[in-house]
Amino acid sequence: MNLEVLDQAATLAAAGELRRVYASAFGAPGYDEDPAAADRFVTEQLPRHTERDGFKLVVSRRAADNAITGFAYGYTGDRGQWWSDRVAEHAPPEIVAEWVGGHFEFVELAVATEVQGQGVGAGLHDALMTDLPHARALLTTYTDDRPAPRLYLRKGWQILVPELWPDSALYGKRLNE
C-alpha cells in the first residue's frame, strides 16, 4: 500500500476514483447508500470541502496499478460551517466550548471493499492525522459495533457524546500534546 497526500487540484482530478471507492465502501451491506450518494459526494461535498482552510486528503494506492483503494480527509472546522453548527446544537455546552471551533474535522474515511481488513484504514487514519497544526480533532461515527468506531478507539479517540444524534456518536482526540 502506497499512501499519498493530494492537494486540491489533484483531489478534484481524482474525483472519479474517489467516487468509485466511496460507492464501494458506503454501498456495501450495512451501509447501503445508493449510488446517488457517491455522485453527490464528488459533485457537491468534496469540491466544497477542498476549499476549506486546512484541507488535507490522503489516498492509498495499490502498488500493482496505482489505483486508489481508499481515502481519508478533513479540514479545519469552525462555527458557521454546517457540521460544526449542528454539533454545537446537539452537544452539551461544555463540550462545545472546549472542542468546537478551530478543530480538525475528520470528515471521511473510505476503503474499497476488496482491500478492507488489510490495515488500509489504519494507515490512512495515521497519515491524515500526521503533522496537523490543530490542538484537537472531532468526528462523528456510528454508535453500533462496526469497524470504524473500533478503529477510532484503537487510535486514541474518545467518545465525547455517546449519541449526538440518532445512531451517531461524537468522538474527540487531543493532538500535539
Average pLDDT over residues 141-156: 94
pLDDT of residue 177: 62
pLDDT of residue 32: 86
Q: What is the pLDDT of residues 14-26, one digit of tens each?
A: 999 999 999 999 9
- What is the phi/psi pair of residue 144, to 5°? -85, 175
Average pLDDT over residues 44-64: 97
* Strand ranges across the sheet with 158-165: 2-6, 56-61, 68-77, 103-111, 136-142, 168-174, 158-165
pLDDT band at 1 (very low <50, low <70, confident <90, very high): confident
What domains sit in the chain, N to C, each tagged with a CATH number? Answer: 2-174 (3.40.630.30)
Average pLDDT over residues 98-117: 97
Rounded to two decimals, the pTM is 0.95
Q: How many CA atoms lie within 13 A of 160 on its CB side?
A: 27
Beta carbons of 71 and 57 less than 8 angstroms apart: yes
| Helix, strand, or coil (residue 81) | coil
**d(Cα 167, Cα 5) in Å, to the nearest integer?**
31
How far, in whole angstroms, is CA 91 from its chain's centroid?
19
